[in-house]
Structure 1
Amino acid sequence: MSKWLLVDGFNLAYRCFFAIPELTRADGFPTNALHGWVKSLWRLADQEHPSGTLVFFDLGGAQDRLALLPEYKAQRAEMPEALVKQLPYVKSLTRAMGFVGVERDGVESDDLLAAEARRLADAGNEVLIVSADKDFAQMVDTRVRLLLPPPAGNAKLGWRVLDEAGVVEKFGVRPAQIADYLALVGDASDNIPGLAGVGPKTAVKWLEQCGSLEAVIARADELKPERFREPVRAQADALRRNLRLTTLNLSLPPVSDAERNAAGRVRLEELLALLEELEMRTALAEARQRYEQRELF
């Protein structure tokens, strides 16, 4: 059995951008996210020793969900210009470090990542999804777990694994019920409205009693508090739409063999040139220490 790291690229890039104080090259070009990016990927590789790492990036594809809800993710602020400038280097560094970058037009990276996680797990591999996005909790099972970054205010906790028991402890529902849970309570990060007034405790109680969103709708006359019975009946179609929005699409085409087989192939000359261009001297010295000796054998 092999172990694979599947990284939610933008989730990690944003984290690196905001976690590190402003850093720039001598000419003023921002490099703060890049320092965090390189350091984070090396730390994860050292901690987990994966057979391969795939990093998934968004190209803005959410057409299927926008067709269901035009307001989907509409509340999100534009990416900071300083991070936009660094993204091409994020992707170049990823490739040079031997961590494959995966992106597809018209498809959300979350769905791409989830589909690949399911495919690798079904083939008998261990999968760690590197992301703080709660949507991925629905993927957790005996072979797929989440690798959560340390809390912003307590970096000493380090990266933490979230397994099936951890999902239940964190959300109150099983991984298979996460999409149903989010359909009921809503997801502010994606601008998905839940059922007004329904919070986590009520959603957990209903799913414990009924098992699924569809069963909650079917048993609306039994729900407590009673004031929610009529709203559940009246908004059944909207709740079903929410479930389609919160459920990750596992039927997407696989990552190509060429992409998967490229995992672990460090492009040392390219990496050293990039780090020198970016004036990332500490990372440049570490890259030489990590890889140059390996090149001799």
Structure 2
Amino acid sequence: MSKWLLIDGFNLAYRCFHAVPELTRADGFPTNALHGWVKSLWKLEDQEKPDGTLVFFDLGGSQDRLVLLPEYKAQREEMPEALSKQIEPIKALTRAMGHVGVEIHGVESDDLLAAQAVALAKEGHDVLIVSSDKDFAQVVNERIKILLPPPSANPKLGWRFRDEAGVVEKFGVPPEQIADYLALVGDSSDNIPGISGVGPKTAVKWLQQYRDIEGVIANAAEIVPERFRDAVRDRADDLRRNLKLTTLNLSLPTIVAEKPKSNPEQLFVLLEGFEMKGSLNEARTRYGQPEFLF
């Protein structure tokens, strides 16, 4: 079968924005994220040689999760204005490069991406999820792996794969227990409060003993350390809510995975318009070859 890259759009866009020094067009329009975006997609294409690439973007918050927890992601700062200005150009460049952009109002891109990954894997395709978001660990299996971007603090590490064994090594639990793990320890990046004082080691121990959140709740009177027994019992409903928040929705509609045609001429126009001369020269070389002309 084929190999697909599924890219967490905002995750990669933020990385590009912060990784590339401030760059602007002559009129002051910011372009640093655009430079990083184009080079990152080309790097991934060269390295992984996928049959197709899908890029997932958020269009507003997750309405279902906000009903469960109005404070969901409320602590996150607004997107920097300079990056916000570059999002639509990023999408335009993505389409011109021959990659599909996927987005639905009120539905988190994480859910859309995860549902697509699982659907592709069931069809026998290999999937690489390009993201540093730990939530995706819950869908890793023999066909789905995570491709982690180079860490900002140590970019020399390069892109790294995380498979099922890697998930266990990182979190202490297998993919099928990741949502329960996050429900227990909480997720500060999404503003989900876990049980106060319960850290990774305790959560892993409980899940090894009791399998899942319901098992932990059912055995609240026996858990160790004893100081958490009342907290688990008293916050049982919160833990069940947390599990709904941390579990990715795999029942969402997916798209037919067909590689679209690139539009070299449109890409050249965009790159020239943003005064990305180096990328324009590379694009003419890449898409000027006979096999890239459609």
Query: If the TM-score is normalised by the length of the shorter chain, which range does it land in?
Result: over 0.9
Instruction: State the one-letter code of the partner of 1:52.
Output: G
Cα displacement (A) at 1:178: 0.4
Find the counterpart in structure 1 of residue 30 from structure 2: 30
Structure 2 residue matching 1:222: 3-state secondary structure: coil
CA distances 1:148-185 after superposition (whole Å, capped 9, x unpaired): 00111221211111000000000111110000000000
Aligned residues: 293
Cα displacement (A) at 1:61: 3.4
Find the counterpart in structure 1 of residue 288 from structure 2: 292
Counterparts of 1:47-126 in structure 2, within 5 Å, are 47-126=47-126
C-alpha separation in 2, matches of 1:293 and 1:186: 50
The alignment-based identity, stated in percent, is 72
Find the counterpart in structure 2 of residue 205 from structure 1: 205
Cα displacement (A) at 1:264: 4.6
C-alpha separation in 2, matches of 1:83 and 1:151: 20
C-alpha separation in 2, matches of 1:207 and 1:92: 44
Find the counterpart in structure 2 of residue 236 from structure 1: 236
C-alpha separation in 1, matches of 2:293 and 2:54: 26
Find the counterpart in structure 2 of residue 149 from structure 1: 149
C-alpha separation in 1, matches of 2:49 and 2:289: 19
Asked whether the equivalents of residues 68 and 241 of structure 1 are also in contact (C-alpha less than 8 Å), the reply is: yes
C-alpha separation in 1, matches of 2:52 and 2:223: 47
Cα displacement (A) at 1:53: 0.3
Asked whether the equivalents of residues 53 and 264 of structure 1 are also in contact (C-alpha less than 8 Å), the reply is: no
Q: Which runs of 5+ in 2 are unaligned?
A: none
Structure 2 residue matching 1:28: 3-state secondary structure: coil
C-alpha separation in 2, matches of 1:144 and 1:222: 36
Cα displacement (A) at 1:93: 0.2
C-alpha separation in 2, matches of 1:235 and 1:43: 46
Structure 1 residue matching 2:289: 3-state secondary structure: helix
Asked whether the equivalents of residues 30 and 82 of structure 2 are also in contact (C-alpha less than 8 Å), the reply is: yes
Instruction: State the one-letter code of the partner of 2:269.
Output: A
Find the counterpart in structure 1 of residue 251 from structure 2: 251
Instruction: State the one-letter code of the partner of 2:235.
Output: Q
- Aligned-residue RMSD, C-alpha: 1.0
Structure 1 residue matching 2:161: 3-state secondary structure: strand
Q: Which runs of 5+ in 1 are unaligned?
A: none
CA distances 1:233-255 after superposition (whole Å, capped 9, x unpaired): 11000000000000000000112
Counterparts of 1:273-292 in structure 2, within 5 Å, are 273-292=269-288
Asked whether the equivalents of residues 264 and 293 of structure 2 are also in contact (C-alpha less than 8 Å), the reply is: no
Structure 1 residue matching 2:288: 3-state secondary structure: helix
Asked whether the equivalents of residues 287 and 293 of structure 2 are also in contact (C-alpha less than 8 Å), the reply is: no
C-alpha separation in 2, matches of 1:61 and 1:152: 26
Instruction: State the one-letter code of the partner of 1:233.
Output: R
Structure 2 residue matching 1:39: 3-state secondary structure: helix
Cα displacement (A) at 1:47: 0.5
Structure 1 residue matching 2:146: 3-state secondary structure: strand
Instruction: State the one-letter code of the partner of 2:31.
Output: T
Question: Does 1:269 pair with 2:269?
Answer: no
Structure 2 residue matching 1:161: 3-state secondary structure: strand
Cα displacement (A) at 1:110: 0.5
- How high is the TM-score relative to the length of structure 1? 0.97
- How high is the TM-score relative to the length of structure 2? 0.98
Structure 2 residue matching 1:111: 3-state secondary structure: helix
Structure 1 residue matching 2:36: 3-state secondary structure: helix
Asked whether the equivalents of residues 137 and 175 of structure 2 are also in contact (C-alpha less than 8 Å), the reply is: yes
